[in-house]
Structure 1
Amino acid sequence: MQSWRTWHRPLLLFAASMVVMSVVGAVGILVDDRVLAGAPIWAKPFKFAASFVAYALALAWMLTLPTRGRRVGRWAGTVVALACAGEMAIITGQVIRGKRSHFNHGTALDSALYDAMAATVVVLWAGTLVVALLLLRARIADRASAWAVRSGVLIALVGAGFGFLMARPSAGQRAAGGLDTADVVGAHAVGVPDGGPSMPLTGWSTTGGDLRVPHFVGMHALQALPLFVVALVLLAPRVARLRDPRVRLRLVLVASGAYAAVVALVTWQALRGQPLVHPDGTTLTAAGLIVTATASGVLAALRPAAVPASSATAPDKELVS
């Protein structure tokens, strides 16, 4: 792996600022007792900052990999860093004002800030798409690493895209009508209002579906799949089968397919209005199929390749000669 000094500097600086912001958010949760939409008011800045640290660091490293279009990649990375910084500035500013940042059309200012934040999300997604296209063209020597990076960034794009679903009016809001004058348009939850009973830390709904689940799981494929390759490489000295690059490639293919299947499953579950922590029999059956298919794929990937009969008898021939 290349030295971190070669990583994309604006993204590194942004990640460092988000480390500071996550500390600010954590302190805010402890000392500020205000609650907004059923959660501590500083919970959103904390969660976004922590998530952006991982996202920015992964992109900063990935931008060292393209062999062509490096200048375009540097510009795309800078655009992503600026878009993320703009989004965090609006989120934090609204917390200071005691207002919702997402889906808020209560006043002209709130509506303008939300529209600006929505624009930063579009820019972030487009910038990440440019990076993904560069990575698809990059010549990465290790095939397992290449697949992990490319699969990770593509799944992350899908995960980020779920943000656009949240911006649409919910079924309840459409049924109530008056969307042009409503204070809140859009929702995380499906089938229940935002701000109801939720899981600790994540804030995901425990009574209905929640689109933040596939959004989170999908976006963090950007880190999970490359880290999976790192784990395989670290384990290779102790596990003989992992020293074979073909085995590592097969395992990465299995992991990428399993990760994509999990994203699809939690998306389907959320859109059905079902809480992550209360799956029904259909969801559990689908999860079981994913686990079974993944286990079968891992066993097949680890199975030693068959040795051709001609190769097995070759040493005997050499001894005879």
Structure 2
Amino acid sequence: MPSSWRSWHRPLLVLAALMAGAAVVSAAGVVLDGRTLVGSPIWLKPFKFAVSLMIYGLSLAWMLSLSTRARRTGWWAGTVVAVASVIEMVILIAQVIRGRRSHFNLETELDETLFSVMGNTIVVLWVSSLLIAVLLFRSELADRASAWALRLGAALALIGAALGFLMTMPTSDQLAAEKRGERVDTLGAHSVGVPDDGPSMPLTGWSTTGGDLRIPHFFGMHALQLLPLLLLALLLLAPRLPRLRDEGVRLRLILTAAGGYSGLLALLTWQALRGQPLHRPDAATLTALAAILLTTAVAARLSLRPSPARTRAPSPTPAPEPLPDREPAP
């Protein structure tokens, strides 16, 4: 599963380096610039985006080095992801400098154009990531557990990224204003059931009074890193835990983890869409969570059973060779 960093996708490595620099600049902005926007420090959003895109770029750069199919196509797909991410970040920082919202902003013609460009770049980025995931599904790796950790991590990350499009849908208040013929200068929202500028968690900015679609979006996208990290942990523990030396056991644990992750992603999405804060789950949410955790724990316990030994068909017993004829004694 490991590969030399020299074989990693170069444009995505450049993206990661640029985003590391953007994260440093944004962190300085959080400390030095006292402006706020939608209830948060104005530089907090570019900081979070820079860190997320840095991790995303490094992950894809590594995964493309493991792909064995259509490598040239994979190179171009990775390059498109890198370029689209840079465009997204440039617009986001430009809007911060202007003191304007980057997302959902229709206040002026320029704001609307920039938001439209950001939406289109996200679509291009998602389609390119989908192509990379397809190449990973078609690639053959010697270790099946490693192969499925990469494939399912990429698939769940695509689902998490797609959940971001739910934020661009108009809210009920925005639809009502449009029906009344009023000008709407905001289209979409992070929060469900409450305004975006309401009370929120520190650092993440997630709403503490209503649902927040950024939570499943974040959780889903980072399956791209978490499932391969789980596989790496299993490989590191294998010398001490003989059961994990069995490739079949590792594969079943990865499939179990992916199933549990999918259940939690669905639960977080359901919770957010019902306008429920993450830290205040109701009885229905807690019941669903308990069912997911119990099912995953049972499946993990069953996954630890040793793989059945492959039985080989008994080799046919060779027929005895005939004894040589003997000359009669004189």
Normalising by the residue count of structure 1, what TM-score does the alignment of the two structures yield?
0.94
Give the distance between the partners of 1:139 and 1:60, measured in 2 at CA.
18
* Aligned position for 1:2: 3
* Aligned position for 1:46: 47
CA 1:180–1:18: 2 relative to 1, 3 Å: farther
Asked whether 1:270 is paired with 2:279, we answer no
Q: Tell me which protein shows more helix as a share of its residues.
A: 1
Letter in structure 1 aligned against 2:198: G
Letter in structure 2 aligned against 1:196: G
Q: Secondary structure in 2 aligned to 1:177?
A: helix
Identical aligned pairs, as a percentage? 59
Q: Is the 8 A contact 2:68 2:139 kept in 1?
A: yes
Residue 222 of structure 2: which of 220, 226, 250 is its match? 220
| Alpha-carbon distance, 1:180 to partner | 7.7
* Aligned position for 1:236: 238
Give the distance between the partners of 1:306 and 1:49, measured in 2 at CA.
47
Letter in structure 1 aligned against 2:243: R
Map 1:292-303 → 2, pairs under 5 A: 292-303=294-305
Map 1:15-30 → 2, pairs under 5 A: 15-30=16-31
Q: Secondary structure in 1 aligned to 2:66?
A: coil
Give the distance between the partners of 2:102 and 2:307, measured in 1 at CA.
55
* Aligned position for 1:248: 250
Which 10-residue stretch deviates more, 103-112 or 298-307? Answer: 298-307
* Aligned position for 1:291: 293
CA deviations over 1:172-215 (Å, ceiling 9, x no partner): 21123268831111100011111110111100001111100111
Letter in structure 2 aligned against 1:92: I
Give the distance between the partners of 1:121 and 1:91, measured in 2 at CA.
13
Asked whether 1:57 is paired with 2:58, we answer yes
Q: Is the 8 A contact 1:63 1:74 kept in 2?
A: yes
* Aligned position for 1:319: none
CA 1:227–1:307: 2 relative to 1, 3 Å: closer
| Alpha-carbon distance, 1:38 to partner | 0.7
| Alpha-carbon distance, 1:159 to partner | 0.6
Which 10-residue stretch deviates more, 174-183 or 26-35? Answer: 174-183
Q: Secondary structure in 1 aligned to 2:232?
A: helix
* Aligned position for 1:123: 124
Give the distance between the partners of 2:308 and 2:51, measured in 1 at CA.
46
Give the distance between the partners of 1:229 and 1:217, measured in 2 at CA.
18
CA deviations over 1:260-292 (Å, ceiling 9, x no partner): 111100000001111111110100111111110
Asked whether 1:191 is paired with 2:193, we answer yes
Letter in structure 1 aligned against 2:185: D
Q: Secondary structure in 2 aligned to 1:117?
A: helix
Q: Is the 8 A contact 1:104 1:110 kept in 2?
A: yes
Give the distance between the partners of 1:163 and 1:265, measured in 2 at CA.
16
* Aligned position for 2:83: 82
| Alpha-carbon distance, 1:216 to partner | 0.4
CA 1:207–1:223: 2 relative to 1, 3 Å: same
Unaligned runs of 5+ residues in structure 2 are 313-330
Q: Is the 8 A contact 1:15 1:57 kept in 2?
A: yes
Q: Is the 8 A contact 2:157 2:223 kept in 1?
A: yes
Q: Secondary structure in 1 aligned to 2:104?
A: coil
| Alpha-carbon distance, 1:240 to partner | 1.3
**Segments ≥4 residues shifted beyond 3 Å:** 304-308
* Aligned position for 1:317: none
Number of residue pairs matched? 311
Q: Secondary structure in 2 aligned to 1:196?
A: coil
* Aligned position for 1:92: 93
Give the distance between the partners of 1:83 and 1:277, measured in 2 at CA.
34
Letter in structure 2 aligned against 1:260: S
| Alpha-carbon distance, 1:52 to partner | 0.7
Give the distance between the partners of 2:189 and 2:306, measured in 1 at CA.
50
Larger Rg: 2
Give the distance between the partners of 1:114 and 1:180, measured in 2 at CA.
20
* Aligned position for 2:317: none
Q: Is the 8 A contact 1:171 1:191 kept in 2?
A: no
Q: Please report the RMSD computed on the Cα atoms of aligned residues, expressed in angstroms.
A: 1.7
Give the distance between the partners of 1:243 and 1:119, measured in 2 at CA.
45
| Alpha-carbon distance, 1:303 to partner | 2.5
Q: Secondary structure in 1 aligned to 2:204?
A: coil
Give the distance between the partners of 1:235 and 1:20, measured in 2 at CA.
35
| Alpha-carbon distance, 1:305 to partner | 4.8
Normalising by the residue count of structure 2, what TM-score does the alignment of the two structures yield?
0.91
Q: Is the 8 A contact 2:177 2:184 kept in 1?
A: no
Letter in structure 1 aligned against 2:18: S
* Aligned position for 1:316: none
Q: Is the 8 A contact 1:241 1:247 kept in 2?
A: yes
